[in-house]
């Protein structure tokens, strides 16, 4: 046996050792990546959305827009107050409602309802919306985000669970408001 | 004592390399006050490490506890407020010094051959510093932090296809909550500082290996083939050991900066926290920290159609530009005296950022959210007015027109001031503008009765300076004359 062969024997061991480490690393990477992306993948599976109640229908007078709060359906023990969410409820008449996210469709700041001027206004970058949520002026490209809602047993319920953002809007309502685009 | 030292050095063998590094020759004229910003940035970084660890002794990275633990630091723990203030002001100083360091390096041509990689790592250090500034603002878990995260999520969501996934990855769940704070804590305390320490070491190592940039002389051009030899001749001919020849200025400036941070901390105190991070409290005007104010202004002023491309492509182009810089201008003139475009670029960037930051200080684009009840129509505007005009002034106040329009410089600046609106618009144009809106004004047609509109326009038509006639539609006079009625 020549020296070269001896070296290649050691070399082979080293290569097998590296391969072994590579296999173990791959096996470990799988759970690590799954853990890291669990918040993303869960959204595809059983999802975060569910129906939550905003209160009795009598709490929302006809023709008015009121602030309502609800607890986000997906809660972790350390969430504190952050799972309490606000939304604007507009009762048009009877069982006809519109429920808007407080998050401005521009960059998510909380919009405020001004009944006197009939506008939602955003304090951050000056977005404004009409009473039906459609865009009135300012930087937003579309109207306010709307939660899907229904009235059941005298309770107003909405389907909520995710922070509404411009990129998620299609998933949230499935339709574009009239002033979008 | 000497024996103990030798005992350690026989085992560590670090004395010789440290002495070499300390006494390495630097060009004599680089012992300048212009060359102190790098070491100052390092000093403030060390201050941030120390104060950060101290804060972590008390701070609780939980969405339900973080705000209260900051209150405890501010009010209960002895000198907790001072450590918070040091860390907060240290962060502001660090961003500022890193930026000044970068401008100095650029203007002195230090990014050119053979220091390209030093510059590139510096760009990453800048990005990490900004990352620390943003994640630090999140850890100050108050209303600004909460809504700031919402803004970050809204920007991230605009990435095509991957947007929603990026948002959930960033928030650690479907909404801004406990998991969000925990992952920003991990970023701010483990991930980014770890990378920063590694990159700072590389950055410093390269400064030692390649030598500090010589003082740029107009006309002394950098050539790849000759530069290294020329630099070595320079340091051999007129070099001086870094310690003590140059380091005393670094030491003085570092101490001065630490003193300045401490002075600001003592005088101005810690930053926040502002209100409790409760998303049901919507009476809030979120604002980013100082170094992101320019972005806040930019986001208000970009046209809607340009915003997403500018947000997503702009930063990528800027970073690529910075990374490519040493390859695009790796040779040639170093002195800023002979690089007018470089100087203009720095000035233009500084003026742009400065202007946007200044604008963000008083946000002329935001409606005044409390103007309607706070600012009645000044008396002089209704003095001697008819009943209809006074009714119009009431409508003007009740419909919150002054959220966006000012009278006598009181009210919002979103729309034009209305002190002399009647000079600009005829009555017909006023009616059209109020009812249909346009030019960034909402339409009020559905929200005003015909009587209210008539009264409002009658009031608006009185808003013109004493000696200046209101606008009139000339065609209207003509039509009325032709039809036989006097105007």
Q: For B84-93, write each residue's pLDDT tens digit.
A: 999 999 999 9
Chain B interface includes A117 (CB < 8 A): yes
Instruction: State the virtual CA torsion across B390, B396, B397, B403 in degrees, nearest 10.
Output: -160
d(CA A76, CA B234): 64
Predicted confidence band of residue A23 (pLDDT cuts 50, 70, 90): very high
What mean pLDDT is predicted for residues B259-281?
A: 94
User: Could you give the C-alpha distances from B203 to A25, B18, B192, in angstroms and in order?
Assistant: 30, 17, 16
Question: Are residues B192 and B135 in contact, defined by beta-carbon separation less than 8 angstroms?
Answer: yes
User: Could you give the C-alpha distances from B348 to B80, B154, B305, in angstroms and in order?
Assistant: 41, 29, 25
Closest CA to B371 of A144, A117, A110: A117
Question: Are residues A104 and B304 in contact, defined by beta-carbon separation less than 8 angstroms?
Answer: no
Residue A12 structural domain: 3-36
From chain A, the residues in CB contact with B142 under 8 A are none
**More confident: B267 or A170:** B267
Assigned domain for A43 exists: no
Chain A interface includes B415 (CB < 8 A): no
Q: For B32-70, write each residue's pLDDT tens digit.
A: 999 999 999 999 999 999 999 999 999 999 999 999 999
Predicted confidence band of residue A175 (pLDDT cuts 50, 70, 90): very low
Question: Which residues, at least 6 apart from A3, have a Cβ–Cβ distance to it below 8 Å?
Answer: none
Assigned domain for A41 exists: no
Same domain, yes or no: A8 and A66: no
Chain A interface includes B372 (CB < 8 A): yes
Assigned domain for A8 exists: yes
Q: Are strands A84-93 and B410-411 parallel, antiparallel or unpaired?
A: unpaired
* pLDDT at residue number B438: 82
* pLDDT at residue number A5: 58
Chain B interface includes A163 (CB < 8 A): yes
What mean pLDDT is predicted for residues A154-165?
A: 91
The number of distinct structural domains making up chain A is 2
Assigned domain for A169 exists: yes
Chain region(s) in chain B for CATH 1.10.760.10: 371-482
What mean pLDDT is predicted for residues A7-32?
A: 93
Q: Is B7 exposed, middle or buried (0-12, 13-18, 19+ CB in 10 A)?
A: exposed
Q: With a cut of 70, say whether residue B214 has pLDDT above it.
A: yes
* pLDDT at residue number B486: 54
Per-residue DSSP letter, B188: I
Closest CA to B403 of A179, A112, A87: A112
B94-98, B166-170, B395-399: segment of lowest average pLDDT: B395-399
Q: Do A128 and B443 touch (CB under 8 A)?
A: no
Q: Do A168 and B164 touch (CB under 8 A)?
A: yes
Same domain, yes or no: A53 and A32: no
Q: Do B437 and A48 touch (CB under 8 A)?
A: no
Chain B residues 88-127 with CB within 8 Å of chain A: none
Confirm or reject CATH 1.10.760.10 for domain B371-482, answering yes or no.
yes
What DSSP element (H or E) covers B122?
Answer: helix B116-139
CATH of the domain at A145: 2.102.10.10
Q: For A98-147, write each residue's pLDDT tens digit.
A: 999 999 999 999 999 988 888 899 988 888 999 999 998 888 888 999 99
What DSSP element (H or E) covers B40?
Answer: helix B37-56
Same domain, yes or no: A23 and A60: no
d(CA B425, CA B402): 18
Same domain, yes or no: A26 and A86: no
Q: Do B64 and A108 touch (CB under 8 A)?
A: no
Same domain, yes or no: A62 and A128: yes
Same domain, yes or no: A30 and A107: no
Same domain, yes or no: A26 and A57: no
- Determine the angle formed by the axes of helices B116-139 and B192-210, rounding to 10 degrees: 160
Assigned domain for A42 exists: no
Same domain, yes or no: A65 and A154: yes
What mean pLDDT is predicted for residues A4-16?
A: 81
Bond preceding residue B320 cis, omega within 30 of 0 = no
CATH of B2-362, one of 3.40.50.300, 2.40.30.170, 1.20.810.10, 3.40.640.10: 1.20.810.10
Same domain, yes or no: A88 and A7: no
Residue given tokens 């890291």 in the structure block: A36
Chain region(s) in chain B for CATH 1.20.810.10: 2-362
* pLDDT at residue number B485: 62
């Amino acid at each position: 046996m020549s020296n070269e062969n001896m070296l290649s024997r050691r070399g082979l061991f080293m290569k097998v050792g590296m391969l072994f480490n590579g296999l173990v690393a791959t096996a470990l990477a799988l759970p690590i990546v799954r853990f890291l992306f669990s918040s993303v993948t869960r959204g595809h599976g059983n999802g975060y959305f569910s129906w939550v109640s905003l209160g009795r229908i009598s709490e929302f007078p006809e023709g008015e827009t009121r602030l309502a709060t609800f607890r986000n359906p997906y809660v972790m023990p350390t969430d504190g107050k952050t799972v309490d969410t606000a939304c604007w409820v507009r009762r048009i008449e009877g069982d006809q409602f519109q429920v808007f996210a407080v998050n401005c469709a521009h960059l998510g700041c909380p919009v405020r309802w001004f009944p006197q001027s009939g506008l939602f206004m955003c304090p951050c970058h000056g977005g404004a919306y009409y009473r039906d949520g459609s865009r009135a002026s300012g930087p937003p490209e579309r109207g306010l985000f709307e939660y899907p809602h229904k009235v059941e047993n005298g309770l107003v319920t909405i389907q909520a669970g995710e922070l509404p953002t411009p990129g998620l809007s299609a998933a949230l309502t499935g339709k574009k408001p009239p002033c979008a685009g | 004592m000497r024996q103990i030292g030798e005992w350690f050095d026989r085992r560590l063998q670090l004395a010789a390399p440290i002495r070499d590094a300390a006494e390495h020759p630097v060009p004599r004229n680089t012992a300048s006050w212009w060359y102190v910003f790098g070491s100052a940035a390092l000093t403030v970084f060390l201050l941030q490490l120390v104060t950060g660890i101290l804060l972590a002794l008390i701070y609780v990275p939980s969405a339900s506890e973080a705000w209260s633990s900051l209150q405890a630091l501010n009010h209960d723990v002895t000198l907790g407020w001072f450590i918070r203030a040091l860390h907060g002001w240290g962060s502001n100083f660090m961003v500022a010094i890193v930026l000044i360091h970068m401008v100095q390096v650029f203007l002195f041509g230090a990014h050119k051959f053979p220091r390209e990689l030093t510059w590139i790592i510096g760009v990453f250090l800048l990005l990490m510093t900004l990352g620390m500034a943003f994640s630090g603002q999140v850890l100050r878990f108050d209303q600004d932090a909460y809504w700031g995260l919402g803004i970050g999520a809204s920007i991230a969501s605009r990435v095509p296809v991957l947007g929603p996934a990026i948002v959930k990855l960033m928030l650690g769940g479907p909404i801004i909550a406990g998991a969000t704070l925990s992952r920003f804590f991990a970023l701010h305390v483990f991930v980014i500082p770890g990378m920063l320490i590694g990159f700072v070491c590389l950055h410093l190592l390269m400064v030692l290996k390649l030598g500090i940039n010589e003082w740029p002389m107009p006309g002394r051009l950098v050539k790849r083939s000759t530069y290294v030899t020329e630099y070595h001749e320079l340091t051999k001919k007129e070099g001086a050991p870094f310690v003590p020849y140059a380091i005393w200025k670094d030491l003085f400036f570092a101490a001065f900066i630490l003193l300045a941070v401490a002075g600001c901390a003592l005088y101005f105190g810690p930053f926040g926290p502002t209100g409790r991070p409760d998303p049901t409290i919507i009476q809030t005007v979120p604002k980013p920290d100082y170094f992101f104010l320019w972005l806040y202004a930019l986001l208000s002023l970009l046209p809607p159609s340009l915003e997403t491309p500018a947000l997503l492509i702009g930063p990528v182009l800027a970073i690529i530009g910075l990374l490519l810089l040493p390859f695009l201008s790796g040779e040639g003139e170093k002195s800023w005296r002979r690089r007018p475009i470089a100087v203009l670029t720095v000035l233009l960037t500084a003026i742009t950022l400065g202007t946007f930051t200044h604008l963000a200080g008083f946000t002329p684009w935001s409606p005044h959210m409390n103007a309607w009840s706070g600012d009645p129509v000044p008396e002089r505007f209704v003095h001697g007015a008819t009943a209809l005009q006074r009714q119009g002034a009431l409508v003007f106040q009740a419909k919150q027109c002054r959220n966006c329009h000012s009278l006598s410089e009181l009210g919002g600046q979103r729309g034009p001031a209305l002190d002399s609106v009647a000079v600009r618009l005829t009555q017909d144009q006023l009616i059209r503008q109020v009812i249909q809106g346009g030019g960034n004004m909402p339409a009020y047609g559905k929200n005003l009765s015909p009587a209210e509109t008539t009264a409002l326009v009658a009031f608006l038509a009185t808003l013109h300076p004493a000696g200046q006639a209101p606008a009139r539609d000339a065609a209207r006079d003509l039509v009325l004359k032709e039809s036989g009625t006097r105007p």
